[in-house]
A = this chain, B = another copy of it.
Amino acid sequence: MLIFELMKNQNDIAVYLNQHGIKKTAFRVELLDLFFSNSSLTQEEIKEQIKETKNKVTIYRALEAFEKKGIIHKVPDINNVMRYALCQVGCCSEEAHTHNHIHFICKSCKSTYCIEEVKIPNINLPEGYQKEGVRLTVEGVCPRC
């Protein structure tokens, strides 16, 4: 069950924000709504599409809050532009963003997908390397494109 299937209207979104300890302001509702219809966004894409504010600080602080509360997470794309994407249910929490899954970034539509079905294979490093985190990003063309 994906989160966005649960989100039918503005009220649901407001409740969702509240559950994560975030106040429902017109802007933050609009922003979260935007995330439910875009699998990932850059700050630039957000700025273009948001009506409620023109202020970049407001946008950054909202993204910061969303991330801290486990609603979204950051994934740098192939050109090192930061993309923000919704966390799937159970994937992230206020404490930790677990990213033991593959990120797929579509070259064409720029969507970021968290491929939950495929686990990152175990990587055996040479002697002496202590592995703590792994990030695997695949670029290509997504099913929709």
Of residues A82, A140, A142, which shows the largest number of chain B Cβ atoms within 10 Å of its Cβ? A140
Q: State whether the Cβ of A90 lies closer than 8 Å to any Cβ in chain B.
A: no
> A131 CA to B82 CA in the complex, in Å?
21
- The contact string, 1 if C-beta is below 8 Å from chain B, for chain A 105-145, is 00100000101011001011111111111111111111100
Q: Is the interface of A mostly helix, strand, loop or mixed?
A: strand
- List the 9 closest A-B pairs by CB distance, nearest first: A128-B143, A132-B140, A130-B141, A121-B121, A130-B140, A133-B139, A131-B140, A135-B137, A76-B80
Known interface pairs A76-B80, A123-B118. Does A138 touch B143 (Cβ–Cβ under 8 Å)? no
User: Chain B residues near A136 (CB, 8 Å)?
Assistant: 123, 134-137
Known pairs A125-B140, A134-B136. 12 more at Cβ < 8 A? A78-B135, A80-B80, A107-B132, A118-B124, A121-B121, A123-B136, A125-B138, A129-B142, A132-B141, A133-B138, A134-B137, A135-B138
Q: Give Cα distance in the complex from A133 to B104, angstroms.
A: 10
Chain B residues within an 8 Å CB radius of A121: 121, 123
Give CA–CA (A132, B137) in the complex, Å: 11
